[in-house]
Amino acid sequence: MPLLIRNGEIITADARYHADVYVEDQTITRIGRDLEAPPGCEVIDATGKLVFPGFIDPHVHIYLPFMSTFAKDTYRTASTAALAGGTTTLIEMCCPSRQEDALAGYELWKSKAEGQSACDYTFHMAVTRFDETTEAQLRQIVADGISSFKIFLSYKNFFGVEDGEMYRTLTLARELGVIVTAHCENAELVARLQAALLAEGKTGPEWHEPSRPELVEAEGTARFAAFLEATGASGYVVHLSCEPALKAALAAKARGVRLAVETVIPHLLLDKTYAERPDFEGARYVMSPPLRDARNHKPLWDALQMGLIDTVGTDHCPFDLEQKELGRGDFTRIPNGIPALEDRVNLLYTYGVSRGSLDLHRFVDAASTRAARLFGLFPRKGTVAVGSDADLVVYDPHYRGVISAATQHVNNDYNGFEGMEIDGRPEVVTVRGRVMVRGGQFVGEYGYGQFLRRPTAQAQTAVLEEAPA
């Protein structure tokens, strides 16, 4: 059935105008004033609303065996949460451990999504080991439509790679036109500092941040950048949390290293005092890199506004309170992760655009367009244009609400942003022309979400185009 979204204000990364959007066969086929609705066409009135391109979360964990347990979401719960929050495409980290084969892991992760997702999805393929068998497997995965890898410089002996493996991964990525995303923390320093703190009897969640101080992340970021420079590969730092790491990334960008930067919503809005809350409540706020001193917020927001931080993702990774208990008496065993998939767009809109100083177009760029460009989805995703997929968010900027675990769709028993006000919400959300959210409520269909095959080489160009002059 065709769909007409009438009289909204279309907001893209670089334009703002009032128009109707007409959708046929999953695609935007016309944009203009006073478009006719043919018989049988569904009409949605978007008067007084903003019409954004569907938002893209470039950093999500759904199926994740990690720290002796499993992240809580399924593709059904995660895609419901994503869509309720305006995210129409998510990129999940496919993370087999070092003990598993890449290809077997890839097939397993794909099978978890198959027939289950309501939103569109794809994967960053984690390279957690690089031995004689790895290269052929990665070539096969790339040929299946995966044009980004993930490496962890942290999580020694589980996901973490050695420098030699990073070099080989980047060399292959460069050859294939694949962008490499990286979790940048020095694994050796983390292991040593954790052991030293535990030996002093410092076991609570408040010691998580001191065990991975800012310099640990700055070192990882600088080292990743140096390896990118040496290999000529394109890279993307995930969940950057602090000014010293930002400086390392910006220094690399300034000297021409092909590097893009992601921060995540917890690092823009929460700080380390949350992890210092008494009675083990702090465990809810344990993620890596850790929540930082609040003095980091302004440099991150400023860099985001200037486009020096490219994207805002979530690093969505839910563990419930019982799972967090695994680390009572030893903070190194607290499952790492703060879920935010459902709330990212509303929080960034509220504390960026509505109350802060984030430009409306930069908001769209950081939460949708730039991820599409970096990860080979543009212009199919990430914009409102004739020929693009009809992934649309009709956003009500007059809605007022409060975030609460009691009303969330994420499969978890707490919300790290509990009680925070939001100035707006998605009223209607479409995925390829199908209405998935109506009146703010999920009305979608599981299994409708598609696996997105992505071309290689697009990322290389995008990273260069975004680089500062």
Q: Which residues bind ligand URP (CB under 6 A)?
A: 61, 183, 287-288, 315, 317, 336-337
d(CA 89, CA 391) in angstroms, rounded, equals: 9
Q: How far is the CB of 127 from ligand URP (least distance, A)?
A: 14
Looking from the CA of 243 toward its CB, the CA atoms found within 13 Å total 9
d(CA 98, CA 126) in angstroms, rounded, equals: 10
Q: How far, rounded to the nearest angstrom, does the alpha carbon of residue 236 sit from its chain's CA centroid?
A: 12
Q: How far is the CB of 184 from Zn ion (least distance, A)?
A: 9
Which residue, 211 or 288, is less far from ligand URP as judged by CB? 288
Q: Which positions ≥6 away from 143 have C-beta within 8 Å?
A: none
Which residue, 7 or 241, is less far from ligand URP as judged by CB? 241
Q: Which positions ≥6 away from 97 have C-beta within 8 Å?
A: 65, 128, 158, 159
Looking from the CA of 82 toward its CB, the CA atoms found within 13 Å total 39
d(CA 323, CA 69) in angstroms, rounded, equals: 7
Q: How far is the CB of 191 from ligand URP (least distance, A)?
A: 15
Which residue, 7 or 314, is less far from ligand URP as judged by CB? 314
- Residue of 183, 212, 370, 381 that binds Zn ion (CB under 5 A): 183
Q: Which does 408 bind (CB under 5 to 8 A by kind): ligand URP, Zn ion, none?
A: none
Report the number of secondary-structure helices (H) and strands (E) in the chain: 15, 21
Q: Which does 337 bind (CB under 5 to 8 A by kind): Zn ion, ligand URP, none?
A: ligand URP
Choose the binding region for Zn ion from 36-44, 182-190, 208-216, 326-334 (rule: CB under 5 A).
182-190
What residue number has its CB nearest to ligand URP?
336
Q: How far, rounded to the nearest angstrom, does the alpha carbon of residue 415 sit from its chain's CA centroid?
A: 17
Which residue, 31 or 62, is less far from Zn ion as judged by CB? 62
Q: List, in sequence order, every residue forming a beta bridge with 149; answer none if it has no partner.
A: 125, 180
Q: Which does 427 bind (CB under 5 to 8 A by kind): Zn ion, ligand URP, none?
A: none
Q: 169: helix, coil or strand?
A: helix
Which residue, 22 or 159, is less far from ligand URP as judged by CB? 159
Confirm if 61 and 393 have CB atoms less than 8 A apart: no
Q: How far is the CB of 165 from Zn ion (least distance, A)?
A: 17
Q: How far is the CB of 58 from ligand URP (least distance, A)?
A: 12
Neighbours of 289 (CB within 10 A): 29
Looking only at residues 266 through 325 of this chain, which bind Zn ion when binding is defined by CB under 5 A? 315
Q: Which does 336 bind (CB under 5 to 8 A by kind): ligand URP, Zn ion, none?
A: ligand URP
Which residue, 58 or 204, is less far from ligand URP as judged by CB? 58
d(CA 49, CA 419) in angstroms, rounded, equals: 25
Which residue, 87 or 241, is less far from ligand URP as judged by CB? 241
Q: Which does 268 bind (CB under 5 to 8 A by kind): Zn ion, ligand URP, none?
A: none
Can you read off the two tokens belonging to residue 322?
């019982």
Which residue, 296 or 336, is less far from Zn ion as judged by CB? 336
DSSP 338-355: ---TTTHHHHHIIIIIIS
Q: What interhelical angle do 187-199 and 214-231 show, nearest 10? A: 160
> Residue 427 interacts with Zn ion (CB under 5 A)?
no
Q: How far is the CB of 4 from ligand URP (least distance, A)?
A: 40
Interface with Zn ion (CB under 5 A): 48, 183, 315
